[in-house]
Chains A and B, each alone.
Chain A
Amino acid sequence: MNSQIIYESGDHKCIFIGRDPQKKEQIIDTNEYIIQSGDNAMLLDPGGIDIFPVVLAEITKYISLENIKVIFATHQDPDTSSSLAMWLDLVKEIKIYSPWLWTGFLAHFGMGTNFTLNGLPDEGAEIKIGSDGSTVYAVPAHYAHSPGNFSLFDPKSKILFSGDIGAALLPADYPIYVEDFASHIKYMEKFHQRWMPSANAVRAWVRRARAINPDVIAPQHGAIFTGRNVTMFLDWLDNLEVGKWEMGAESSDIYKTVWMRWKK
């Protein structure tokens, strides 16, 4: 597993964890992030249960585990949070925030652990990292891609942690930051066309992101956008046709489809 400090100023740090060279091939690569504010830390989308041991070991290079005060799950997918119970068994005081829509579903990752999920209201919320840490903001990203979905903005680092928005499926040796936006498109285009169901929702999120005006956009899969690439990404996303599936519009060949074979 690789990791890197992507922002540091005083006692405020943002840490990237990802690009695990030893991960099993069938598991999608994920990025985990830590926002460290003094002795308080927030873990964003802690990842799936299978990668829990490596993520944990990597985190311990930077922080004391007992300093993890908050876990934020952008949405319900297992690659974001099926390890929740493992974290909670380790640090019982952790507060978990997730979209309210998914709290009952995420509780299925409990594995016998008692945990309470703090459901975030649709309009978003501010979240304090521990008792004396800084405040971050849950920004609505519903239907981009999940129906209950949030990005997270850290005003100190000006990083917008975007969840699956901006995600890319990359080769293992790809740099952590996007270097050439034009050549990066091919790694994220199909992902967005398929995983983002609503153009309206995506456009609304782009408007929110422009209003926030982040320095960095850090997705849960793929590479991080900085500098000019932030604007280029938002412009590209604003014009992308999403919710796209080649066979979405039924044709006269409908009876040749797999799901109509029973008719034969």
Chain B
Amino acid sequence: MSQQLIQFRKDVGNTYKLGVDILIHSRALKGISLDLKLLAVNGIVQAGKIGSAQGQSLITLSGFLSDLPVQIAPELEQLEVVTSELASQLTLTSVAIIRFIFYSTALSNLLDNILIKQKSSFRSDDFNLLSITDLLKLTNNPLLKGLDSYEKNNINMLAKVNADISLRSIEMLNKSIDYLKKSEQRILNLKRNGFIANYMGSNILIESSYLDSNQQSFQALVSNIRGIVEKLNLNLDNMDNSIKEAKNVLNKVILLISNTQNT
């Protein structure tokens, strides 16, 4: 197997793993919107107990906070849908590329058998078996002389399957990148909601600092909000890193195939 194919195989295995990682992080976020909702309700209850103008502003702030889970919940749901589609797309892409590797190895073995039979000093590594253009004109290659008609048929058949799968793989790789971009957008939306929750928390903390009593319960509330947002951000950052890595690997694979098309 050529070095290029070995690298291909490694990269594909890596993207499959990244897809699963992203999905796991996305599923780990389940329950966050409920936690936030409970905290907001707790805030409203605490503020209601105060019964002054200060209490009213805290109720308003907690009310804003309680709106956030309503926005976060569908975002989280959508993120899970997109990441699960991404994981499945990456799996399909991996399967297609592994098939490509098997066919490519078969073609390379076939060429080696023929070249050995012809006592040629060339070997399959001297051909660019990743290039669609080269694949489709393989039997015209001057390095392959005096082919039998069935040898020609066999090479043409395998080369055509390789070219088809190569094209399909590029399509699938691009589709995977689209899913990665969609996931990135969802993550951005969620991070914005996390930022707003933290901001509300800070306002609640400021407002509650003027209270004569009950300060501690609001401090605990804000600390819980920050804890949840931290958890949210941690998972989103991990997903973001995996997405960036997956994008790099996929772009590298696309570049490798596309470059070989032009050589």
Q: Is the CB of B158 within 8 A of A65?
A: yes
Smallest CB-CB separation from B96: which chain A residue? A112
CB distance from A63 to the nearest CB of B (A): 7
Smallest CB-CB separation from A91: which chain B residue?
B157
Contacting residues, chain A, for B105 (C-beta < 8 A): 53
Q: List 9 A-B contacts (CB under 8 A).
A: A53-B106, A54-B109, A60-B154, A64-B149, A64-B153, A64-B154, A90-B158, A90-B161, A112-B95
Q: Is B210 an interface residue (CB 8 A)?
A: no
Does A89 sit at the interface, judged by CB under 8 A? yes
Q: In the complex the two chains form, what is the Cα distance from A54 to B108 in whole Å?
A: 10
The listed residue with most B CB atoms (<10 A of its CB), out of A53, A56, A58, A89, is A53
Q: Known contacts A57-B109, A60-B113, A65-B158; is A111 also within 8 Å of B153 by CB? A: no
CB pair A57–B103 under 8 Å, yes or no, is no
Q: Which residues from chain B contact A60 at a C-beta distance below 8 Å?
A: 110, 113, 150-151, 154
Convert A111-137 into 0s and 1s, putting 1 for each residue whose CB lies closer than 8 angstroms to a CB of B.
Answer: 110000000000000000000000000
Q: Does A108 contact B (CB under 8 A)?
A: no
Inter-subunit contact A57/B99 (CB<8 Å): no
B150 close to A63 (CB less than 8 A): yes
B64 on the A face (CB < 8 A): no
Smallest CB gap from A85: residue in B:
B99
Contact check, A89 vs B161: say whether CB atoms are below 8 A apart.
yes
Q: Name A86's closest neighbour in chain B (CB-CB).
A: B102
Interface residues on A, range: 20 to 34
With the chains together, A101 CA to B205 CA distance in Å? 69
Give B72-125 interface residues, CB cut-off 8 Å to A: 92, 95-96, 99, 102-103, 105-106, 108-110, 112-113
- Complex: how many Å from CA A91 to CA B158? 10
Check A7 for interface membership: any CB of B closer than 8 A. Answer: no
- Chain A residues whose CB sits within 8 angstroms of the CB of B95 once the complex forms: 111-112
Identify B99's interface contact among A54, A66, A86, A91, CB under 8 A.
Answer: A86
Q: Which of A58-85 contact B (CB under 8 A)?
A: 58, 60-61, 63-66, 85
Bound CA span A49–B218, Å: 63
Q: Does A100 contact B (CB under 8 A)?
A: no
| A53 B109 Cβ-Cβ under 8 A | yes
- Give every chain A residue within 8 A of B108 (Cβ-Cβ): 53
- Given A60-B154, A65-B153, A89 and B110 contact (CB-CB distance below 8 Å): no
Task: Let me know if A52 is at the binding interface, CB within 8 A.
Answer: yes
Q: Is the CB of A66 within 8 A of B157?
A: yes
The residues of A with any CB-CB pair to B shorter than 8 Å are 49, 52-54, 56-58, 60-61, 63-66, 85-86, 89-91, 111-112
Within 118-155 of B, Cβ neighbours of A (below 8 Å) are at 149-151, 153-154
Q: Is the CB of B102 within 8 A of A52?
A: yes
Q: A52-B106, A56-B109 are in contact. Are A65 and B154 (CB under 8 A)?
A: yes
Q: A61 — which chain B residues lie within 8 A by C-beta?
A: 113
Q: How far is the CB of B166 from chain A (nearest CB, A)?
A: 13
Once A64-B154, A112-B95 are accepted as A-B contacts, the answer to whether A86 and B103 lie under 8 Å apart by CB is yes
Which size bracket describes the interface of B in this complex? 20 to 34
> Nearest Cβ in chain B — how far from A24, in angstroms?
13
In the bound complex, CA of A112 to CA of B109 (Å): 25
**Chain B hits for A56, CB < 8 A:** 106, 109-110, 158
Residues of chain A lying within 8 A (CB to CB) of residue B161: 89-90
Q: Is the CB of B150 within 8 A of A64?
A: yes
Chain B: which residue is nearest A62 at the CB level?
A: B150
Q: Which residues of A contact B150 (CB under 8 A)?
A: 60, 63-64
Q: Which residues of B contact A53 (CB under 8 A)?
A: 102-103, 105-106, 108-109
B110 and A57 form a contact (CB under 8 A) = yes
Closest Cβ neighbor of B105 among chain A residues: A53
A85 to B102, CA, bound (A): 12
Chain A neighbourhood of B103, CB < 8 A: 53, 86, 90
Hey, which chain B residues are within 8 Å of A58, CB to CB? 113
Kindly report which residue of chain A lies nearest to residue B117, judged by CB atoms: A61
- Complex: how many Å from CA A64 to CA B158? 11
Contacts of B96 in A (CB 8 A): 112
B158 contacts across to A, CB distance below 8 A: 56, 65, 90
Once the chains bind, are A57 and B153 in contact (CB under 8 Å)? no
| Distance of A143 Cα from B134 Cα, bound (Å) | 50
Complex Cα distance, B205 from A2, in Å, reads 78
Contact assessment for A65 and B157 in the assembled complex, using a CB-CB cutoff below 8 Å: yes
Query: What is the bound-complex CA distance between A61 and B157, given in angstroms?
Result: 15
